[in-house]
Structure 1
């Protein structure tokens, strides 16, 4: 069974703008632009019955579309940077949607997510990138000012085990209404 996760898709024009930050960082494995997304809840490698139950539960979500704002560039990992990201403003709408996904997915019997939700778009996975190199990269680039889009739906993505993630396939889509 492929790995499953719920996410908000990043529109092409926003992905294109974020792709201009590719390059110039040693140790970065850049994510393909078509795979940019904001993960809401990781489900993992689950059996078909649990996947169907998760899809059913997520179908009960009733939320209005909302604006997603990219705040800037950052990195996860501190002294051992592991990912270069575009930070997403933690608006009440995205935080509440993610919390609802967490509750619904736990109803299927899956364990609670261990990590605190930090909305972001992963731009690159970092391997052997120096903290200094990452800090210099971030200092020179600042971030994408005024980059935003309207989230009109969320999806369940599947992914195959691969280096750097992707390709991701939409298994189910749920409109925000």
Structure 2
């Protein structure tokens, strides 16, 4: 099963992001029920590993924290792949990220080393459709300095991710309170 660990967004955080998606008007927008902050993408994992992971994630104890949006960026250089809202990399969030990665390692999941750039993906650009770079540049000029929050975070989740032609579908497998 293809899985990841992430932070679901509270309604107020989603409401803050929806106008950005409305203004972007290109790419494949992430459905509002799928907006989240990924802590660790774990790829395909067998059931026995997921059972160990669930137990390890359930042992994580960190206090509730807050998310704050601190800008909008494009990933992908000349050929944009994603538009996302940056999230402030505060110590409690970094600590949660580290503990989730530790739980994955304890469960036997080998994760690549990568820099943690907390963000919420707003839209994806496929290879088959051209990107209107003028419109994207204008969007970034207007919304690049977007700030909102703080928004409370009281839980994180283990999600299943099913790839569909129209985009990914996420299903919460387990919920962990902070």
Q: Tell me the TM-score normalized by structure 2.
A: 0.89
Please name the residue that 2:142 is paired with: 140
**Is 2:37 the partner of 1:35?**
no
**Is 2:170 the partner of 1:171?**
no
The 8 Å contact of residues 159 and 165 in structure 1, kept in 2 or not, is answered as no
Please name the residue that 2:71 is paired with: 72
For 1:36-62, what per-residue CA distance to the aligned partner results, in whole angstroms no more than 9, with x for missing partners?
000001111111000111111111101
The 8 Å contact of residues 31 and 164 in structure 1, kept in 2 or not, is answered as no
1:140-159 matches, within 5 Å, as 140-159=142-161
Say which SS state the counterpart of residue 90 (structure 1) adopts. coil
Instruction: Quote the RMSD (CA, aligned, Å).
Output: 1.8
Say which SS state the counterpart of residue 20 (structure 2) adopts. coil
The 8 Å contact of residues 16 and 148 in structure 2, kept in 1 or not, is answered as no
Task: Provide the rounded CA distance (Å) in 1 between the counterparts of 2:79 and 2:9.
Answer: 27
Q: Tell me the TM-score normalized by structure 1.
A: 0.90
Please name the residue that 1:63 is paired with: 62
Most deviating of 62-71 and 139-148: 139-148
**Is 2:85 the partner of 1:86?**
yes
Please name the residue that 2:45 is paired with: 46
How many residues of Structure 1 are paired with residues of Structure 2 in the alignment?
175
Please name the residue that 2:111 is paired with: 112
Say which SS state the counterpart of residue 164 (structure 2) adopts. coil
CA drift at 1:81: 1.4
Task: Provide the rounded CA distance (Å) in 2 between the counterparts of 1:93 and 1:113.
Answer: 22
Say which SS state the counterpart of residue 139 (structure 2) adopts. helix
For 1:105-125, what per-residue CA distance to the aligned partner results, in whole angstroms no more than 9, with x for missing partners?
012221123432210000000
CA drift at 1:129: 2.2
The 8 Å contact of residues 80 and 131 in structure 1, kept in 2 or not, is answered as no
CA drift at 1:170: 1.1
**Distance change >3 Å, CA 95–CA 142, structure 1 → 2:** same
Segments of structure 1 that go 5 or more residues without pairing to the other structure are none
The 8 Å contact of residues 7 and 157 in structure 2, kept in 1 or not, is answered as yes
CA drift at 1:4: 0.9
